[in-house]
Copies of this chain bind each other. A is one copy, B any other.
Amino acid sequence: MSTAVVSYTLNGRSGVSATTRERVLRVADELGWRPATAARSLRSGPAAAALVVVHDQPFGTRAAFPLDLVSGALQTLGPDTLTLAVHVAESPTGAAQLMDRWWTERRYAAFVVTGVRVDDARLAALRTLPAPAVVVGAVVDGAPATWQHVVLDDGDAFAQLGAFLAELGHRRIAMVAGSERLVAPVRRSAALAAALVPYGIELRTVAGDGPERAAAALRPLLSASDRPTAIVTDDDATAGLVLDVARRLGLGVPWDLSVVAGTDSPACYLTTPSLTAVPYPVEELGRATGRALRAALGTAASRRAVGVDPTEGEAPPSGTVPVGRLVVRGSTAPPAGN
């Protein structure tokens, strides 16, 4: 029996008789044999993609996002074609260097990027590479054709939220963005502002990177006579902070102040009161990421021979993931005067 026959069998190619194929599979199983990744990659190029996480905020409440995302991506990926590995870097620059290096070493066939920052070093690096990439949580202008994008439907999410708050009677609403270095919060606060326009409400926006700066910005805001009656944050941690500042100022939540977290998470029901929140369908985002990854690798020009079936043609474009219904909990109520 020649090695070619075995190779054909294992790669499911035609030209092997049913009996031979069965025998090959049986013997391989008995011997516990599997083709060596390295040898296969040497011939055919890497069959793995990497998600490089910028992990500069350890212990963060949403830090598990990448794992949830991968968990979802696996559902649309199937472990046999492409594996998706998660790696950790301490900074965008570090992540950029890793991706550059691993692309040059032909270690990975594609990259996934999340938590995109303003002027993100990772995107700059990826541009110089002809690497397929999936950008999660942001749409990059003038992106190479080999990139795919996956974003949440913030428009819908914040339309729901805007309607909810406006119909409770709120008129003075502010948004506390967690970090203006991240692209997503900026886009999301714009989406909320747009959603409030029909109600004639002008969103006030407070920037605050890190808990200290956010708290510092928050205190004068909540002490003023025309203080907002509702505050929307970008994440659970900032919402918790708002709760804390409000408590210290003697403001009762939700009676004197409504608080909404822009990103639902388990921490949102550990607080007192539990936090009304914008859903965060990470798993679905992951499934979309898996599809986008296949699409990115399907881009003929960018192929590095992953096991993608060429006859499948161009995969459907990646896209916008719907969010579910707003999750109403204890932190929201009509404003005091209502």
Contacts and interface: CB of A to CB of B under 8 A. Distances in A.
Contact of A42 (B34, B39, B90): B39
Contacts of A272: 243, 247, 271-272
A24 interface: no
Contact of A37 (B36, B67, B106): B106
A287 to B, nearest CB: 13
B270 A236 contact: yes
B60 A64 contact: yes
A15 interface: no
Contacts of A87: 70, 83-86
B104 A34 contact: yes
Contacts of A237: 266, 270
A19 to B, nearest CB: 25
Nearest to A73: B88
Interface string A238-274: 0010010001000000000000000001110111100
B37 A107 contact: yes
A8 to B, nearest CB: 19
A237 B268 CA distance: 11
Given A37-B105, A267-B267, A59 B66 contact: no
Contacts of A66: 67
Interface string A46-90: 100010010100111101101110110010000100011111101
